[in-house]
Every structure is written in C-alpha cells, then in structure tokens.
Structure 1
Amino acid sequence: MDKNAIKQALIKLERHHIDEAEMKYEDFLMGNLLDREEIVDQDDQSHHRQSIEVSDQLEHQAHVHIEHLEALNNISFEATEVVKPGAIVSVNGRCMIIAVPKSPFTIDGRHFMGISVNAPIYRQLAGKKAGDTFEFNNKKFTIEVVN
C-alpha cells in the first residue's frame, strides 16, 4: 500500500472540499446581500440576520477544511507498527486512516474512513499493534493490520 499516494489523495480530497465550501459561501453571499437602494423593512432585517448566521456557518466549514489540509501536510505517513497519526489501521475488516475526520471514501478500489486523534475510538487504538484487541461501545475489536 502506497501511503504517500493515499496522503496525496486525501490532500486532493480536502482541497476539493475547500473549493466547494468557498464556492457555496460566495454563492450564498451573492444571493443574500441587502440592496441599499431598496427600502428595508423589519422582515428584511430579520432575514438578513439569519443569513449572517448561515454565512458564518459556511465560512466556518471552509476554515475547518483548511485546518484539515494543514494537518494532513504536517502528518508523517511513514510506515509504522503502532497506531499513531498517519497510520492506516485495519480493524474488523474496516480501514481507518488516523489523520482527519473523513466520511468513507475510496482510493484505488479500497474503502477507507478518516478519523482524527480526537475521535473517541482513537483513544482505544492509540499505541496498539496488529493483533491487539480492545472494546469500544461494548463491542470487541481486533486490530488486523497497522501500516
């Protein structure tokens, strides 16, 4: 498994999310700016305040993806036998990349899920090796591979 290729795929995916979030933010702003030449009533002002909240949420999403991109660039994806950031871990048949939270995705026909060091399951995985077992949410898991 080429971990550098996986890291580059994650970086590309994160850049795509940044572009998408920024485009949604810009589109939203363009459609929701108040026209200062028109009469603005209380209802317009109320909608404007709600729009500001939504625009703040959209802007926050872009910043989160930028933080994820920075984290990916700073994590070493070198081979490892111990679960730590940059490790790819197979647990009960599922592959997890310890880096940033990421919904299930596919690279070269293989399914992965990204988890961060802040994920509750990572606390159970950290420092473990292939063959180790642990419990999480009252279920038993076996670490099959750490790379």
Structure 2
Amino acid sequence: MDKVKLKEALIALEKHHIDEAEMKYDDFLLGNLLDKTEVIDDDDQSHHRQSIEISDQLEEQAHVHLEHLETIHKISFTPKKVVEPGAVISVNGRCMIVAVSKPMFTIDGRNFIGISTNAPIYKELAGKKTGESFVFNGNTFKIESVY
C-alpha cells in the first residue's frame, strides 16, 4: 500500500474542498451585497442579516478544511503496527485511514474513508493490532490489517 500516495490524495481532496468553499463564499458575497444606490427597506436589511449568517457558515467551512490540511501535513504516514494517526486499517473489508474525517474516496480502485481521532469508532480502535477485535455500537469487528 502506497501511503505516500494516500497522503497526497488526502491533501489534494482538502485543497479541492478549500477551493470549492472559497468559490462558494465569493459567489455568495457577489450575489448578496446591498446596493447602496437603491432604497433599502427593512426587508432588505433582514435578508442582508441572513446573508451574513450564511456567509459566516461558508467561511467556517473553508477554515475547517484548512485545519484538516494542517492536520494531514503534521501526521506521519510511515508504516504502523498499531492503530494510531497515519495508520491505514482494514476492518471487516473496509479501509479506513486515521487522519481527518472524510467520506469515501477511491485511490487505484480501492475505497477508503477518513476518520479522525475524535471519531467514536477511533476510541475503540486506538492502540489495537492486526487480528484484534473490538465492539462498536453493539457489533463486533475484526482488524484485518494495520499499515
């Protein structure tokens, strides 16, 4: 398993998400600025306040992805013997990478999901080795491999 390629893919995904968030933010701002040359009534001001809340949420999304990017850069993706940040694990046929929360993505035809150390399942996985089992949400899982 090429963990360098995995790290590069995670970095590329986060950069893509940052770019998307920034474009959505910029587009939103352009479409929601008040025109000071026109009469502004109470309804316009109410919509403007709502727009500010939405723009804050869009800006926050970009910051979250920037934090994810920093986290990925800091993690060592060297081979692992136990589940810890930077580990890639196979559990019941599913591959997880311990770094940041990320929905399923595919590299070289193989599906991965990203989990953070704050994920509830990580608390059950942390420190475990290949062959060990754990219980999560009432289900038993077996760690097939740790890379």
TM tier, shorter chain? over 0.9
User: How big is each residue's C-alpha offset from its partner over 1:18-39, in whole Å with a ceiling of 9 and x where there is no partner?
Assistant: 0000000000000000011111
Identify the residue that residue 104 of structure 1 maps to in structure 2: 104
Identify the residue that residue 16 of structure 1 maps to in structure 2: 16
Once residues 72 and 3 of structure 1 are traced to their aligned partners in structure 2, the CA distance between those partners, rounded to angstroms, is 12
Identify the residue that residue 142 of structure 2 maps to in structure 1: 142
Runs of 4 or more, structure 1, over 3 Å off, are none
Tell me the amino acid that sits aligned with residue 13 of structure 2: L
- The 3-state SS of whatever aligns with 1:24 is helix
User: How big is each residue's C-alpha offset from its partner over 1:106-132, in whole Å with a ceiling of 9 and x where there is no partner?
Assistant: 011100000000000000000000000
Once residues 15 and 88 of structure 2 are traced to their aligned partners in structure 1, the CA distance between those partners, rounded to angstroms, is 21
Percentage identity across paired residues of the two chains: 69
Residue 38 of structure 2 is aligned to residue 33 of structure 1: no
Tell me the amino acid that sits aligned with residue 121 of structure 2: I
Once residues 139 and 77 of structure 2 are traced to their aligned partners in structure 1, the CA distance between those partners, rounded to angstroms, is 28
Once residues 25 and 108 of structure 1 are traced to their aligned partners in structure 2, the CA distance between those partners, rounded to angstroms, is 32
Once residues 11 and 39 of structure 1 are traced to their aligned partners in structure 2, the CA distance between those partners, rounded to angstroms, is 46
Once residues 136 and 15 of structure 1 are traced to their aligned partners in structure 2, the CA distance between those partners, rounded to angstroms, is 32
- The 3-state SS of whatever aligns with 1:40 is coil
Identify the residue that residue 59 of structure 1 maps to in structure 2: 59
Identify the residue that residue 2 of structure 1 maps to in structure 2: 2
Using the size of structure 2 for normalisation, the TM-score is 0.99
Unaligned runs of 5+ in 2: none
Which residues of 2 match residues 123-142 of structure 1 at below 5 A?
A: 123-142=123-142
Once residues 74 and 91 of structure 1 are traced to their aligned partners in structure 2, the CA distance between those partners, rounded to angstroms, is 25
State the shift of 1:6 in Å.
Answer: 0.6
The CA RMSD measured in Å over matched residues stands at 0.4
Tell me the amino acid that sits aligned with residue 50 of structure 1: Q
Using the size of structure 1 for normalisation, the TM-score is 0.99
Once residues 6 and 92 of structure 1 are traced to their aligned partners in structure 2, the CA distance between those partners, rounded to angstroms, is 20
Once residues 44 and 90 of structure 1 are traced to their aligned partners in structure 2, the CA distance between those partners, rounded to angstroms, is 53
Identify the residue that residue 121 of structure 1 maps to in structure 2: 121
- The 3-state SS of whatever aligns with 2:36 is coil
